[in-house]
C-alpha cells in the first residue's frame, strides 16, 4: 500500500471549503424549492382522493339512513296493521314522521300502495316525477329496498322500502332528505366547502358558500392522466387563493352530478414563497460563514496540537477515557502532521486501558463466582428444608450424613441426632432394614441406576407409608460417593385409594352396596345359586320428610332403614341402597310365605325408631333370568305396590298383565302424541243450562281424538297416558287456544274448559291465559276453567294462589266431580271457585235413592252457604231433572239437555240467536 501523500494544512482547509460553499448554496436553494412544490402538489392530490372517498361514504350513509327509516316504518305497518295501507292509523304515521324530521332532518315521507299510488305524505311532498315512479316500480317488482341521489329540479336523497305482508308486497315507503346534512358533514370532516353541479346544466345546484355559485363557471380544471375523475384548479381573487377539486364519487352515468370542493390555501401559497426567500438567505449566510471558517482554520490546527500534548500526561495517570475524549477519531483521506500523532496517542491509550480492564474483569468474575456459589448453596439448603419429602444422604455403609427438616418433623428428632445414625436401623423396621441394606449395597456395587422401594416409617403419630428412591451421587468428582435418599409420603394417597375403592362398591351414607355393586353380585349369585328373589323397598313420603324436617332428618331415616335391613331374620344375601329412598335386597331361595312375611314387615313403619312405612316390590328368579330382567320385574312390582297406596307390597306375576299394561299405555301415548302433532284433535260442546230460566248458560268443551283412519278413539286411556307422561300440558294448551279462538269467532259465546292436575303445576298459567286473551281480544269473563276436586286438594296451597291469579283476570272457576274425593266442606272456604259441579254418580239416582237426595241436599246447602253456585252432572231424564230443581241446584248438564256435538255443528246458527243465554231447543 502506497503511503498517503503529504498536503499542507493550509491547503487542506482553503480548497474544499471554498468549493463546498459555492456548490452547496446553489444546490440547496434549488432542491428545497423543487421539493416543497412537489410535496404541495402530492398533498393536494392525496386530499382529492380522500375527499372523493369521504363523499362516497357520506352518500352511502345518507342513503342507508333513508332505507333504514323506510324499512322500519314498513316493518311497523306490516306487523301492527292487518288492513289495507290506506287505512293505516294516521296519527301513528304522523308521529313517526315527526320523529324522523326532528331527529334526522328528513325532507319528506310518502306512503304508496302496490299500484304506486300515493296514499299519504308528510313534509315537502312534490308530485311523483319519472325517476321516483321508475324507482317505485323497481322496488315493488324486486321486493328490495332502493336508494339514490337525484338532481331533477333540485338535489335530493331518496330511499324506497317495500311493505311486505304475508309474503306479498302491499306497498312502499319513500323517504327523502336534502343535501344540507351531506354538505355539513363534509365540511366538518374535511374542512372544505362543497358545491353540487347538475349534469345537464353544468351549473351548481347548491353550495355551502353562496360565492361558489358565482366563481365556479369561470374555473378551468385539470386532471392527472392516471386519475381523470379527480380534477383540480386554483383561483385568485381579492388576494385570496382557493384550491378547487372536482370529484365524481357516483358511478359514471349521464345523470350523475359532480361535486366541487373549495378550500382557502392563501396561507400555504404564501408559505411557499417565504420558503424560497429563506433558501436564498441561507445560501448567503453559508457563504459568509465559510469566510469566517477560513480565518479560524489555523487556530483550529493549533488546538489539535495542544490536545495531543495535554493528553499524554493523562495516560500515566490511568485516565484513558479522558485522554480519548480529548482526541476524538475523525476519518480522513489525506493525513497531515497531526494525524499520525493523534492516532499513536489513541492507540497507546486503548492498549493501556485494555490491560487494565482485563485485570479488573478477572477480579470481578472471581468475586461473582464466589457470590453465585454462595447463593446456590443457600437455595439448595432452602429447597431441601421446604420440600415436602424426606431428603437425606448416607454413605455406602448406611450412615446418615445429612437430613432435611421434613425428616426431622416426621421422626421427631433434630438433624444433630440423626447424623451418624444408621439409616436402616433408625428409619426401617428390623426385618426390612436387613433385607434392604443388603439389596442397596449390592445394587450400587455394580450399578448406578436409582433403586426404588416402599417401606413403613415409624413416627410419633403412627406408621407412615414411604416410597424411597435411592440414587448414587458424587462418584464423578473423585471423592467419596454418597447415596441420596428421597422419600415420598404416600399415606394420604393410600387412604384416598382405599376410600375410592370403598365408594365404588358401597353407599357412603349407609355402608350398603350401591346399585352397580349390587347388580354385579346378584348376577354372580344367579350364576352360582340359580334361584332366589329380589325385593325393592321404597320409603313412603320421604320427600315430605326432607322438605319438612330437613336433609339431616332424611339421612337419619335412611340410616335407620339400613340398620333395619341388616337386622332382618333371615338375613338377606345382599343388601343395597339404589339411590334416594330406594333399597334392594337379594335372598337366596326361601319359602314364598317367608318372603311375603319379610315384605309385610318392611311395609310397616316404626315412628319410635324413626322408620317410615314403605312399599315393597317382590320378584322371584325365573328360569334363564338375567339380573336386568329380574330388576325390571321387581321395579314393575314396586310400581303396582305404590299404586295401591302407602305401606303396600306386590309380588310380580307375569299373568297380572303389568307389563302389557305398560306397553298399552306406551301405545296410547304414541297415539295421542301423533294426533297432537298432526292436529287430529276436535272440540265437542255440551250445553249447561240455567235451570230457573231453561236457557243455555254456557257450553262445556270436550276433547275428542281422531285415529289415523278418522275414527274417534276412546279418550279415557289416551288422557291417562298423557297425564302420566306430562303431555297433558300441551293438550291443555291446545284446547285453551282453540276454545278462546271459538269465543273470538262467536261473540257472546261462553265456554268451560277442563284443566288437568299437571296444568296446576304451571306457575305462569295466568300469564299464558292473559296473553291468549290479548291476542284474540276476548273478555276473560267468557271462559270458565274446570278443575277436579282431587287435583285441587292434592296441591291446595299452590292451587289456591294459582286459581286466585286466574280469577283476577276475570275468568270463572268450577270445581268438578265434587263429592267423590276425600274433601271436606271446609275446602270450599279456601278455594276461589264460582261453580261446584256435583259428581254425576250422586245425580243419576236422585229419582230412586233417598240417600243420594239427602247427600246432594247437604252438598247444595254447603255450596250455597259459601256463596257459590251448584251444577248437577248426568241429568239424563225428566224425573232426575225434577229432583235437581227441587233440591235448588242452579245449573244442569246431561243427555236430557243435549249430547256433546262437534263445535262447528253447534255454532252454525249461533249468531242468529239472541245474545246472552241460549235456548237449547
Determine which of 268-272, 733-737, 784-788, 811-815 has the lowest per-residue pLDDT on average.
268-272
Contact 738, 684 (CB under 8 A): no
Q: How far is CA 334 from the centre of its chain?
A: 79
> Which domain, by its residues, includes 853?
682-696+729-909
Q: What is the pLDDT of residue 760?
A: 80
Q: What is the pLDDT of residue 398?
A: 80
**Structural domain includes residue 250:** no
Regarding whether 488 and 613 lie in a shared domain, the answer is no
Greater confidence, 148 or 654?
148
DSSP 252: S
Greater confidence, 12 or 187?
187
Q: What percent of the chain has pLDDT over 90?
A: 18
Determine which of 379-393, 726-740, 853-867, 888-902 has the lowest per-residue pLDDT on average.
379-393
**Structural domain includes residue 431:** yes
Q: List, in sequence order, every residue forming a beta bridge with 259; answer none if it has no partner.
A: 196, 247
Q: What is the pLDDT of residue 919?
A: 40
CATH number for 487 = 3.30.450.20
- In terms of average pLDDT, the best of 131-135, 189-193, 617-621 is 617-621
Q: Is the pLDDT of residue 444 over 70?
A: yes
CA dihedral 634, 639, 644, 648 (to 10 degrees): 40
Q: What is the pLDDT of residue 617?
A: 93
Determine which of 444-448, 620-624, 793-797 has the lowest per-residue pLDDT on average.
793-797
Regarding whether 616 and 557 lie in a shared domain, the answer is yes
Greater confidence, 725 or 873?
873
Q: What is the pLDDT of residue 864?
A: 92
Determine which of 430-439, 661-670, 717-726 has the lowest per-residue pLDDT on average.
661-670
What is the phi/psi pair of residue 695, to 5°?
Answer: -105, 155
pLDDT band at 356 (very low <50, low <70, confident <90, very high): confident
Q: Is the pLDDT of residue 822 over 60?
A: no
Q: What is the pLDDT of residue 605?
A: 72
Give the contacts of 852 (CB within 8 A, at least 6 positions apart): 842, 843, 845, 846
Q: Is the pLDDT of residue 920 over 50?
A: no
pLDDT digits (tens, 9 = 90+) for 389-401: 888 888 878 888 8
Q: What is the pLDDT of residue 302?
A: 66
Regarding whether 537 and 456 lie in a shared domain, the answer is no
Determine which of 431-435, 655-659, 728-732, 774-778 has the lowest per-residue pLDDT on average.
655-659
Q: What is the pLDDT of residue 227?
A: 64
Q: Which three cell numbers stand for residue 53?
A: 372517498
**Structural domain includes residue 213:** no
Task: From 433, 465, 495, give the residue that closes a domain.
Answer: 495
DSSP 606: B
Q: Is the pLDDT of residue 794 over 60?
A: no
pLDDT band at 921 (very low <50, low <70, confident <90, very high): very low
Q: Which three cell numbers stand for residue 888?
A: 235448588
pLDDT band at 821 (very low <50, low <70, confident <90, very high): low
Regarding whether 790 and 691 lie in a shared domain, the answer is yes
- What would the mean pLDDT of 254-283 be, rounded to a whole number? 79
Determine which of 109-118, 543-552, 554-563 has the lowest per-residue pLDDT on average.
543-552
- What would the mean pLDDT of 84-94 be, rounded to a whole number? 70
Q: What is the pLDDT of residue 879?
A: 93
Q: Which three cell numbers stand for residue 389?
A: 419429602
| Nearest-5° Cα angle at 817, 670 to 783 | 80
Regarding whether 524 and 451 lie in a shared domain, the answer is no
Mean pLDDT, all residues of the chain: 80
**Structural domain includes residue 259:** no
Q: Is the pLDDT of residue 8 over 70?
A: no
Sign of CA dihedral 23, 29, 30, 35: positive
Regarding whether 805 and 734 lie in a shared domain, the answer is yes
SS3 681: strand
Q: What percent helix, strand, coil does the chain show, rounded to 5?
A: 50, 20, 25
Q: Report the C-alpha gap between 760 and 793 in whole angstroms.
A: 11
Regarding whether 757 and 853 lie in a shared domain, the answer is yes
**Structural domain includes residue 527:** yes
Number of domains in the chain: 3
pLDDT band at 775 (very low <50, low <70, confident <90, very high): very high
Regarding whether 814 and 733 lie in a shared domain, the answer is yes
Regarding whether 532 and 454 lie in a shared domain, the answer is no
Give the contacts of 123 (CB within 8 A, at least 6 positions apart): 97, 101, 106, 107, 108, 109, 176
Q: What percent of the chain has pLDDT over 70?
A: 83
DSSP string, 104-142: H--SEEEEEETTS-EEEEEES-PPP-HHHHHHHHHHHHH
Q: What is the pLDDT of residue 639?
A: 84
453 φ/ψ sector (left φ>0, alpha ψ -120 to 50, else beta): beta
Q: What is the pLDDT of residue 258?
A: 82
Regarding whether 473 and 438 lie in a shared domain, the answer is yes
**Structural domain includes residue 707:** no
**Structural domain includes residue 504:** no
Q: Which three cell numbers stand for residue 650?
A: 306386590
Q: Is the pLDDT of residue 801 over 60?
A: yes
Q: Is the pLDDT of residue 464 over 90?
A: no
Give the contacts of 226 (CB within 8 A, at least 6 positions apart): none
Give the distance between the most distant pair of CA atoms in the chain: 154
Alpha helices in 550-702 (DSSP H): 551-566, 592-603, 627-644, 658-677
CATH number for 862 = 3.20.20.450
* Neighbouring C-beta atoms of residue 403, cutoff 10 Å: 26
Q: What is the pLDDT of residue 540?
A: 85
DSSP 847: T
- What would the mean pLDDT of 583-599 be, rounded to a whole number? 91
Regarding whether 620 and 472 lie in a shared domain, the answer is no
What is the phi/psi pair of residue 648, to 5°?
Answer: -125, 160
Regarding whether 446 and 536 lie in a shared domain, the answer is no
**Structural domain includes residue 484:** yes
Q: What is the pLDDT of residue 2?
A: 60
Three-class DSSP labels, 10-49:
HHHHHHHHHHHHHHHHHHHHHHHHHHHHHHHHHHHHHHHH
Helices and strands (H, E) in the chain, number of each type: 29, 31
Contact 262, 203 (CB under 8 A): no
Task: From 495, 527, 553, give the residue that closes a domain.
Answer: 495
CATH number for 527 = 3.30.70.270
Radius of gyration over alpha carbons of the chain, in Å?
Answer: 53
Q: Which three cell numbers stand for residue 903?
A: 263445535
- Let me know if 918 is exposed, middle or buried by CB neighbors in 10 A (0-12, 13-18, 19+): buried
Q: What is the pLDDT of residue 106?
A: 84
Q: Report the C-alpha gap between 66 and 56 in whole angstroms.
A: 16
Q: Is the pLDDT of residue 326 over 60?
A: yes
Q: Report the C-alpha gap between 605 and 538 in whole angstroms.
A: 12
Q: Is the pLDDT of residue 604 over 80?
A: yes
- In terms of average pLDDT, the best of 243-257, 373-387, 442-456, 869-883 is 869-883
Q: Is the pLDDT of residue 127 over 70?
A: no
pLDDT band at 776 (very low <50, low <70, confident <90, very high): very high
Amino acid at each position: 500500500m502506497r503511503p498517503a501523500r503529504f498536503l499542507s494544512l493550509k491547503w487542506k482547509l482553503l480548497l474544499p471549503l471554498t468549493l463546498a460553499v459555492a456548490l452547496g448554496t446553489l444546490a440547496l436553494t434549488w432542491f428545497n424549492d423543487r421539493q416543497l412544490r412537489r410535496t404541495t402538489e402530492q398533498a393536494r392530490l392525496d386530499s382529492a382522493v380522500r375527499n372523493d372517498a369521504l363523499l362516497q361514504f357520506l352518500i352511502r350513509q345518507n342513503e342507508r339512513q333513508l332505507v333504514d327509516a323506510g324499512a322500519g316504518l314498513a316493518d311497523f305497518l306490516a306487523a301492527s296493521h292487518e288492513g289495507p295501507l290506506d287505512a293505516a292509523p294516521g296519527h301513528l304515521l304522523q308521529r313517526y314522521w315527526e320523529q324522523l324530521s326532528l331527529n334526522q332532518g328528513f325532507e319528506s315521507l310518502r306512503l304508496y300502495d302496490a299500484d304506486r299510488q300515493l296514499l299519504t305524505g308528510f313534509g315537502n311532498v312534490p308530485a311523483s316525477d319519472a325517476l321516483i315512479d321508475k324507482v317505485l316500480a323497481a322496488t315493488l317488482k324486486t321486493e328490495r329496498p332502493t336508494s339514490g341521489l337525484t338532481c331533477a329540479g333540485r338535489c335530493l336523497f331518496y330511499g324506497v322500502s317495500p311493505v311486505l305482508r304475508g309474503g306479498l308486497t302491499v306497498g312502499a315507503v319513500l323517504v327523502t332528505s336534502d343535501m344540507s346534512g351531506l354538505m355539513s358533514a363534509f365540511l366538518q370532516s374535511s374542512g372544505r366547502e362543497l358545491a353540487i353541479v347538475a349534469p345537464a346544466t353544468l351549473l351548481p345546484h347548491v353550495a355551502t358558500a353562496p360565492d361558489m355559485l358565482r366563481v365556479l363557471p369561470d374555473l378551468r380544471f385539470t386532471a392527472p392522466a392516471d386519475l381523470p375523475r379527480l380534477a383540480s384548479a386554483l383561483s385568485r381573487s381579492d388576494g385570496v387563493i382557493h384550491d378547487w377539486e372536482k370529484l365524481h364519487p357516483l358511478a359514471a352515468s349521464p345523470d350523475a352530478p359532480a361535486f366541487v370542493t373549495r378550500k382557502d390555501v392563501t396561507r400555504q401559497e404564501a408559505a411557499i414563497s417565504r420558503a424560497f426567500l429563506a433558501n436564498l438567505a441561507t445560501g448567503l449566510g453559508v457563504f459568509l460563514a465559510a469566510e469566517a471558517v477560513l480565518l479560524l482554520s489555523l487556530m483550529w490546527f493549533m488546538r489539535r496540537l495542544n490536545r495531543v500534548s495535554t493528553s499524554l500526561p493523562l495516560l500515566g495517570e490511568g485516565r484513558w477515557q479522558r485522554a480519548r475524549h480529548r482526541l476524538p477519531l475523525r476519518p480522513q483521506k489525506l493525513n497531515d502532521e497531526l494525524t499520525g500523532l493523534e492516532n499513536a496517542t489513541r492507540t497507546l491509550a486503548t492498549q493501556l486501558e485494555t490491560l487494565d480492564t482485563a485485570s479488573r474483569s478477572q477480579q470481578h468474575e472471581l468475586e461473582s463466582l464466589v457470590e453465585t456459589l454462595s447463593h446456590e448453596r443457600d437455595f439448595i439448603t432452602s429447597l431441601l428444608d421446604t420440600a415436602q419429602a424426606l431428603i437425606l444422604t448416607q454413605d455406602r455403609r448406611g450412615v446418615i450424613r445429612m437430613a432435611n427438616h421434613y425428616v426431622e418433623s416426621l421422626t421427631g428428632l433434630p438433624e444433630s441426632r440423626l447424623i451418624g445414625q444408621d439409616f436402616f436401623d433408625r428409619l426401617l423396621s428390623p426385618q426390612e432394614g436387613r433385607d434392604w441394606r443388603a439389596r442397596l449395597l449390592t445394587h450400587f456395587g455394580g450399578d448406578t441406576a436409582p433403586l426404588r422401594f416402599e417401606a413403613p416409617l415409624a413416627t410419633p403419630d403412627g406408621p407412615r407409608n414411604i416410597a424411597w428412591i435411592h440414587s448414587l451421587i458424587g462418584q464423578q468428582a473423585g471423592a467419596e460417593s454418597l447415596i441420596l435418599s428421597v422419600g415420598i409420603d404416600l399415606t394420604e394417597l393410600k387412604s384416598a385409594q382405599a376410600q375410592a375403592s370403598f365408594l365404588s362398591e358401597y353407599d357412603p351414607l349407609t355402608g350398603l352396596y350401591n346399585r352397580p355393586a349390587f347388580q354385579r353380585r346378584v348376577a354372580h349369585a344367579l350364576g352360582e345359586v340359580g334361584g332366589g328373589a329380589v325385593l325393592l323397598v321404597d320409603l313412603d313420603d320421604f320427600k315430605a320428610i326432607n322438605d319438612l324436617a330437613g336433609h339431616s332428618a332424611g339421612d337419619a331415616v335412611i340410616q335407620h332403614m339400613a340398620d333395619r335391613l341388616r337386622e332382618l331374620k333371615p338375613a338377606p344375601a345382599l343388601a343395597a341402597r339404589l339411590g334416594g329412598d330406594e333399597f334392594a335386597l337379594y335372598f337366596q331361595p326361601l319359602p314364598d310365605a317367608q318372603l311375603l312375611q319379610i315384605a309385610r314387615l318392611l311395609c310397616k313403619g316404626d315412628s319410635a325408631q324413626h322408620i317410615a312405612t314403605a312399599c315393597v316390590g317382590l320378584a322371584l328368579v325365573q328360569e334363564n333370568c338375567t339380573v336386568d330382567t329380574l330388576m325390571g320385574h321387581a321395579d314393575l312390582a314396586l310400581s303396582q305396590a305404590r299404586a295401591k297406596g302407602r305401606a303396600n307390597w306386590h309380588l310380580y306375576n307375569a299373568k297380572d298383565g303389568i307389563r302389557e299394561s305398560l306397553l298399552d299405555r306406551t301405545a296410547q301415548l304414541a297415539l295421542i302424541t301423533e294426533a297432537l302433532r298432526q292436529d287430529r284433535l276436535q272440540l265437542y260442546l255440551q250445553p249447561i243450562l240455567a235451570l230457573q230460566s231453561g236457557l243455555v248458560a254456557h257450553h262445556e268443551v270436550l276433547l275428542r281424538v281422531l285415529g289415523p283412519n278418522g275414527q274417534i278413539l276412546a279418550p279415557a286411556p289416551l288422557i291417562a297416558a298423557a297425564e302420566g307422561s306430562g303431555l297433558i300440558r300441551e293438550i291443555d294448551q291446545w284446547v285453551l287456544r282453540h276454545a278462546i279462538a271459538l269465543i273470538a269467532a262467536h261473540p257472546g259465546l261462553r265456554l268451560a274448559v277442563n284443566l288437568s292436575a299437571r296444568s296446576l303445576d304451571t306457575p305462569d298459567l295466568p300469564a299464558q291465559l292473559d296473553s291468549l286473551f290479548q291476542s284474540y281480544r276476548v273478555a276473560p269473563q267468557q271462559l270458565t276453567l274446570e278443575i277436579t276436586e282431587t287435583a285441587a286438594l292434592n296441591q291446595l296451597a299452590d292451587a289456591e294462589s294459582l286459581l286466585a291469579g286466574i280469577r283476577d283476570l276475570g275468568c270463572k272457576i268450577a270445581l268438578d266431580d265434587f263429592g267423590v274425593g276425600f274433601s271436606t266442606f271446609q275446602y270450599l272456604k279456601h278455594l276461589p271457585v264460582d261453580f261446584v259441579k256435583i259428581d254425576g254418580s250422586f245425580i243419576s239416582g236422585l229419582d230412586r235413592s233417598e240417600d243420594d237426595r239427602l247427600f246432594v241436599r247437604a252438598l247444595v246447602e254447603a255450596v250455597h252457604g259459601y256463596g257459590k253456585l251448584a251444577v248437577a252432572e248426568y241429568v239424563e231424564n225428566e224425573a232426575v231433572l225434577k229432583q235437581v230443581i227441587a233440591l235448588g241446584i242452579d245449573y244442569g248438564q246431561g243427555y236430557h239437555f243435549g249430547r256433546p256435538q262437534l263445535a262447528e255443528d253447534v255454532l252454525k246458527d249461533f249468531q242468529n240467536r239472541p245474545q246472552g243465554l241460549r235456548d237449547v231447543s
